[in-house]
Amino acid sequence: MATFSTILLLFSLFTLTCAKCHPDDEQALLSFKSVITADPSAMLSSWKAATDCCTWAGISCQAPDNRVNSISLSAQPNSYLSGTIPSSLSKLRFLDGIYLQNTRNISGPFPSVLFHLPNLQYVYIENNKLSGRLPENIGDLSRLYALSLEGNGFSGKIPSSISKLTGLTQLKLGANQFTGTIPDGIRQLKNLTFLALDRNKLTGSIPDFFTSFANLRILTLSYNRFSGNIPASISDLAPLLAYLELGHNSLTGRIPDFVGKFRALDTLDLSWNRFSGTVPTTFGNLTKIFNLDLSHNQLMDPFPVMNVKGIESLDLSYNRFHLKQIPKWVSSSPIIYSLKLAKCGIQMKLDDWNPSETYFYDYIDLSENEITGSPVKLLNRTDYLVGFWGSGNRLKFNLESLKFPATMKTLDLSRNLVYGKVPKAVTGLNSFNVSHNQLCGALPATMFPASSFAGNSCLCGSPLAPCKA
């Protein structure tokens, strides 16, 4: 028969193996829950006192002491958390990562508690409502490997002390309200693989400091107010850079020849700038590129031949190109889903265009060209098309012969030679424009304005004039 001491030992071992998380960790997490004022999807429903907090949703603990080392909460599309980040989280002495991603309504200033977490290495507080300025001493978070505050409402200048975060591999400050110039001290962050400052109000020129970033794979500076040329040192990123996004700024000059060195480039976005001249012939070296957007610039002929096996999305719209035909390297792509060639000087009969694959097409924009014929053969081969824009051409076909896939939300055929009646299928669209064509007959009941149907001499019915008896 087991002795009392043996039973006591077994009980002690059982207690240790079933140990709950540390009381300080439990208290800190419950204090966080207490300041959450809305949790409609019950993300924190498992956070209950006197239960093991290491089993709570979004919480992980580290052996052997069972201390909380990570908080990871991510809301689903229709859920959120409202509240703040309390200072009592400082009791989580072993926390190395905090991930509050897409929780949407976490508000307040930059959480000062982050300075009191000695093991913190990863901060991802994304798509919330934090606001105010970043603290001047943000450089004191020198143990960080990743800092992402994208999708909040931070404003003011990016503090110069950010240069002290030399361990960072990721710095993501996109989708805020930052102003001023990029701090020159960012050149000290030599371990960066991901630098995202997009969707802010940053000004000045893009610093010529990219020689420092031997490991950079993603650079996104789009949707700011940068001016000047693309700095020469960006060419030093060629071996590894996969994403270069500089769109929606006020950059000028020619696209540098060195862009052709970026053999690993997947995505290049230079849209909505003021680039001029020709596209370098070195673009033919971008054999791995899948997404290319040069739209809304002042680029001129000739456009180089691309040596790609497949491209996913291409936008060359609104430049000074005269392509005449849709390029063969586009037509042969087996994976393309978005093709936008508006006002690209295309002169062809659309019936003659036979792309090798139409299954993946989501968006096609061929407006403001000199295209004739019918898009019916093309569009009736697409099962998942979301939008087609063909305005300002000479397309001629019976609208009733067009198939409307369930996915289609936008159709613009204005200023063409389209004839026939308007089919009832258009009622499933969000946006529809067939103005200035040759359509006739009574309109189906829709919510579209009269401007969608103007310029068709014998269309009638709401929102146009009533049909005659």
- Let me know if 360 is exposed, middle or buried by CB neighbors in 10 A (0-12, 13-18, 19+): middle
Tell me the whole-structure pTM to 2 decimals: 0.93
**Mean pLDDT over residues 437-466, rounded?**
95
CA distance 346 to 343: 8
CB atoms within 10 A of CB 205: 14
CA distance 2 to 79: 54
Q: How far apart are the first and last CA of the chain?
A: 105
Asked whether residue 469 carries a pLDDT value surpassing 80, the answer given is: no
Asked whether residue 14 carries a pLDDT value surpassing 50, the answer given is: no
CA distance 432 to 422: 11
Contacts of 52 (CB under 8 A, 6+ apart): 20, 21
Query: 369-382 pLDDT, tens per residue?
Result: 999 999 999 999 88
Query: 202-214 pLDDT, tens per residue?
Result: 999 999 999 999 9
* Residue 231 near residue 256, CB atoms below 8 Å: no
Whole-number pLDDT of residue 5: 46
Helix, coil or strand: residue 210: helix
Asked whether residue 42 carries a pLDDT value surpassing 90, the answer given is: yes
Asked whether residue 11 carries a pLDDT value surpassing 60, the answer given is: no
Query: 70-120 pLDDT, tens per residue?
Result: 999 999 888 999 999 999 999 999 999 999 999 999 999 999 999 999 999
CA distance 311 to 338: 9
H runs (alpha helix) in 36-139: none
Structure-token pair, residue 332: 């042969």
Asked whether residue 17 carries a pLDDT value surpassing 80, the answer given is: no
Query: 299-318 pLDDT, tens per residue?
Result: 999 999 999 988 999 999 99
User: How far from chain centre, in Å, is Cα 411?
Assistant: 24
Query: 177-187 pLDDT, tens per residue?
Result: 999 999 999 99
